[in-house]
Amino acid sequence: MVTSESRTGGVVLSDLTKSYGEVQAVRGVTISIHPGETLALLGPNGAGKSTTIDMMLGLTRPDSGTVSLFGSSPAAAVQAGVVGGMLQTGSLLGYLSVRELVTMVASLYPHPLNVDEVLRLTGTTEIAERPTTKLSGGQTQRVRMAMALVADPELLVLDEPTAALDVEGRRDFWTAMRAVAARGKTVVFATHYLEEADAFADRIILMARGRIVADGPPTEIKARVGARTIRATLPGVDDTALSSLPGVMKADQRGDAFVLTCSDSASSDTALRALLLHYPQASDIEVRGAGLEEAFLDLTGDDGVESDEAPRP
Amino acid sequence: MKHLTYLRYELLRTIRNRRFLIFSLTFPLILYLTVAGAHKNLSLDGISFPLYYLSGMAAWGSMTAVVSSGARIAQERSVGWTRQLRITPLRTSDYFIAKILSGYLMALFSIVVLALAGSIIGVRLSAVQWLTMLGLLLVGLIPFAILGILVGHLVSVDTLGPVIGGGTSLMALLGGAYGPLATGGVFLAVVKYLPSYWLVQAGKSALGGGNAWPAQAWIVLAVWSIVSARVAARVYRRDTARVQ
């Protein structure tokens, strides 16, 4: 039985490993998630995100290591109805309307939310009477979100929830999900959309090849590899002169413009001051923090080929 | 069964499934009316042909209903629905019970519709005889309900239709649902080890006397039920241990 006191334990994964035959899907993953935290598991396909989530939910038994959900085993937490999830694969159950399906799922939980409220929150009110098999990809995904939300779970686990959605669908999805997170629920989601993890999570865990390669708030993840670039239009200047400015790692010429790469925000500040001091004619200056995309490539040590494929358009 | 709302929607889904309805209700009914209707005054093994054939068709229709209901798990597995259910508080046993109950509901429909058709073309049984027939059918369906769940875990969606159609037809044929079997010899001795043989006998047993279920019927049905259940449990455990 999950008591309110044990819930303060949050979600604890200790040294999880899982192999499928020769393939080591997860090789020693330890994560401690505080109640109310929103955590993104970020990584390319095959990083071990889905296997980690399956072990977290008790769908897959780890080869070694333990999972504790608010002080209970995954099976006990699921039985107690404190877990809600959106799995990566899966279509909806047929021969039901959207409303009937959500009502059916709600009935399985001890303290479900009001079905109409959840339909409204997920933007599925207009399609509530439609058969579940006659929906678009985006609508299907919103119904699956409704099924996860109606449980009113303490822990909401989403395995690549927006993989099938277009840009607008993703934005709508996260708008609805923010409302949930705001209620103090613990949210864990897997994604390979870097901007999604950055925008929505309090904390990002980067996974690659079954291991955690970085763990921290989005800003910290970026700062750790935190390359910054300064772009400036500066005609008639030699790139070797620019690359010798303090804080600059390298300088690339792009026509009349230069791109100066700095290792972090402190060195880009230094470089910018030096640039303006020595080349006051520099114009059209732009300083950019590296996106998670670059952080990702750097931390996972990928050559970029795999990651180019990972984020779907 | 703790989750009545879940069961209600499961039954609703079953009733809305037209293909399911056609195979377990319409086919046996059409066959019954055409064959038995054409031989109303015939008598076989000392039983009026409409009753004789009612036993066969009720066995076939109800068998198809309970097997199909469990076998639909294959479809729910293929779309990831069973995985989704495993992260809800619904117990696996309740999931299976709901499948068995909806199969039985359809079986009951099938039996009632055929019984009505039978009484229209001249089957006359007392209330006790009707209830005996129904009771024996419901008991005889137990191994088929379990076999359905087993099939639902073994068979892919692509082969589900042929396996259900072929399997139930073969079982019905060998059990004597479509027509009289040999009255003796090795063949009869062998088919008496099939649960479908005794399911077909349920209707005739209702008349009592020499056709009532002997001890062998109960033993055959019990053994088929227990063995199917054990195999199904093993397959289920294997299935849930593997990544999907």
- In order of start, what are the domains of chain A with their CATH numbers? 6-219 (3.40.50.300), 227-289 (3.30.70)
pLDDT, tens only, B157-173: 899 989 999 999 999 99
CA distance B57 to A230: 82
Question: What pLDDT, in 10s, does the model give residues A63-121?
Answer: 999 999 999 999 999 999 999 999 877 779 989 999 999 999 999 999 999 999 999 98
Question: Which residues on B lie below 8 Å from A92 (Cβ)?
Answer: 79, 81
Given this model, what pLDDT does residue A252 score?
A: 85
In a mutational test of the A interface, the residue from B73, B77, B88 whose CB has the highest number of chain A CBs within 10 Å is B88
Contact criterion met (CB below 8 Å) for B67 and B151: yes
> What is the spatial distance between Cα A242 and Cα A251, in angstroms, rounded to a whole number?
6
A312 has a pLDDT exceeding 50: no
Q: What is chain B written as a DSSP string? A: ---HHHHHHHHHHHHH-HHHHIIIIIHHHHHHHHHHHHTTT-EETTEEHHHHHHHHHHHHHHHHHHHHHHHTHHHHHHTTHHHHHHTSS--HHHHHHHHHHHHHHHHHHHHHHHHHHHHHTT----HHHHHHHHHHHHHHTHHHHHHHHHHHHHS-HHHHHHHHHHHHHHHHHHHTSSSPPPSSHHHHHHHTTSHHHHHHHHHHHTT-GGGS--HHHHHHHHHHHHHHHHHHHHHHHHHHHS--
More confident residue, A4 or B186: B186
What's the burial of A206, exposed, middle or buried (CB within 10 Å: 0-12/13-18/19+)? Answer: buried
- Are A164 and A312 within 8 A, CB to CB? no
Q: By the CB < 8 Å criterion, does A78 face chain B?
A: yes
- φ and ψ at B212, to 5 degrees? -65, 155
- Confidence at A300, pLDDT banded by 50, 70, 90: low
CA pair distance A34, A268, nearest whole angstrom: 34
CA distance B64 to B54: 15
pLDDT score at B242: 55
Interchain contact, B17 vs A58, CB within 8 Å: no
Asked if the Cβ–Cβ distance from A90 to B86 is below 8 Å, we say no
Residues in chain A with CB shorter than 8 Å from the CB of B81 are 90-93
A104 contacts B6? CB cut-off 8 A: yes
Q: Does residue A51 register a pLDDT over 80? A: yes
- CB distance B36 to B114 below 8 Å: no
Minimal Cβ distance to B89: which of A81, A100, A157: A81
Cα gap A88→A50, rounded to integer Å: 8
Computed from CA positions of residues A160, A124, B13, B102, in that sequence, does the dihedral angle turn out positive or negative?
positive
Cβ distance A94 to B13 less than 8 Å, yes or no, reads yes
Residue A232 β-bridge partners: A258
Task: Report how far apart, in Å, the C-alpha atoms of B135 and of each of A164, B131, B192 are.
Answer: 50, 6, 20
Chain B touched by A115 (CB under 8 Å): no
* Residue-level length of chain A: 313
Interface mutation vs chain A, best among B84, B97, B99, B242, most A CBs within 10 Å: B84
As a whole number of angstroms, the distance between CA A150 and CA A84 comes to 8
| CA–CA distances in Å: residue B8 to residues A6, A96, A100, A114, B18 | 35, 12, 11, 19, 18
How many C-beta neighbours within 10 Å does residue B237 have?
10
What pLDDT sits at residue A6?
43
- A82 in contact with B at a CB cutoff of 8 Å? no
Of the partner residues A87, A94, A109, the one whose CB lies closest to the CB of residue B89: A109
A62 touches chain B (CB under 8 A): no
CA angle, corner A107, sides to A104 and A109, nearest 5?
Answer: 130
Using the Cβ of A103 and the Cβ atoms of chain B, whether some distance falls under 8 Å is answered with: yes
Interface of A with B in 11-30 (CB under 8 A): 20
Poorest-confidence range of A96-110, A162-176, A185-199, B110-124? Answer: A162-176
Give, in degrees to the nearest 5, the angle at Cα B234 between B230 and B237. Answer: 140
The residues with which B48 forms a beta bridge, in sequence order, are: B43
Q: Could you say which of B6, B9, B89 has the minimum Cβ distance to residue A78?
A: B89
Contacts of A109 in chain B (CB under 8 A): 88-89
Mean pLDDT of all residues in chain A?
85
Please tell me the distance from the alpha carbon of residue A121 to that of residue B213, in angstroms, as a whole number: 59
In Å, how far are A23, A202, B106, B241 from A47, measured between CA atoms? 11, 21, 46, 21
With an 8 Å Cβ cutoff, are A110 and B89 in contact?
Answer: yes
Residue A84: strand pairing partners: A156
Q: Best interface-test mutation with B: which of A24, A26, A57, A59 has the largest number of B CBs within 10 A?
A: A59
The domains of chain B are located at: 4-241
Q: What is the pLDDT of residues A229-278, one digit of tens each?
A: 888 998 888 888 888 889 888 888 888 888 888 877 788 889 999 999 99
CA distance to partner chain A, nearest, from residue B80 (Å): 4
From the list B81, B90, B241, the residue facing A108 with the nearest CB is: B90
Give the per-residue pLDDT at B244: 42
Which of A105, A144, A155 to probe the B interface (max B CBs under 10 A)? A105
